[in-house]
């Protein structure tokens, strides 16, 4: 009767265990990357919605009808809205969301009607419409 050593079977089991552990490690890394991307997208969506909310809120406020830039921030809400009077004329409302870490700005051309702001049709834009672009970076706190 021959004695079997079983070293081949043991090597096969160890190889399967090592490959399984490698695949589990790669799967965990891929899942961590997906979670990070989902979190980043969620923060971007919150900033986008905050900028939209700022524009809506800004249309409801009473603003001084004078040139320059005037900004307001609600007590709670995490956004800011600014009214600009560009050198070329007109009025531009800027909604800001996301703070300094994930800034999102939306713009809306507005006009004065009955001492209040009114959004112009087709006036919504998600980039600075002024030239030079640094005219949009003017800040009043």
pLDDT tens, 42-78?
A: 888 889 999 999 999 999 998 888 888 889 998 887 7
Reported as a single tens digit per residue, the pLDDT across 81-130 is 999 888 777 899 999 998 777 788 999 999 988 778 899 898 888 788 87
pLDDT value of position 108: 93
Do 61 and 74 meet the contact criterion of CB atoms below 8 Å apart?
A: no
The ranges assigned to domains in the chain are: 10-137
Interatomic CA distance for residues 134 and 141, integer angstroms:
16
Interatomic CA distance for residues 90 and 135, integer angstroms:
14
Q: Whole-structure pTM over 0.75, yes or no? A: no
Do 70 and 82 meet the contact criterion of CB atoms below 8 Å apart?
A: yes
Residues in the chain: 141
pLDDT value of position 112: 85
């Amino acid at each position: 009767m021959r004695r079997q050593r079983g070293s081949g079977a043991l090597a096969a089991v160890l190889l399967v265990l090592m490959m399984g552990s490698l695949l589990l490690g790669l799967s965990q890394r891929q899942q961590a990357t997906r979670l990070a991307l989902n979190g980043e997208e969620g923060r971007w969506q919150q900033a986008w919605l905050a900028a939209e909310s700022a524009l809506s809120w800004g249309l409801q406020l009473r603003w001084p009808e004078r040139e320059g830039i005037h900004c307001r921030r609600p007590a709670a809400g995490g956004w800011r809205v600014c009214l600009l009077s560009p050198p070329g004329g007109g009025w531009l409302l800027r909604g800001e969301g996301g703070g300094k870490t994930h800034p999102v700005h939306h713009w809306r051309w507005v006009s004065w009607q009955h001492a209040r702001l009114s959004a112009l049709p087709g006036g919504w834009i998600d980039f600075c419409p002024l030239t030079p672009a640094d005219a949009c970076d003017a800040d009043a706190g």
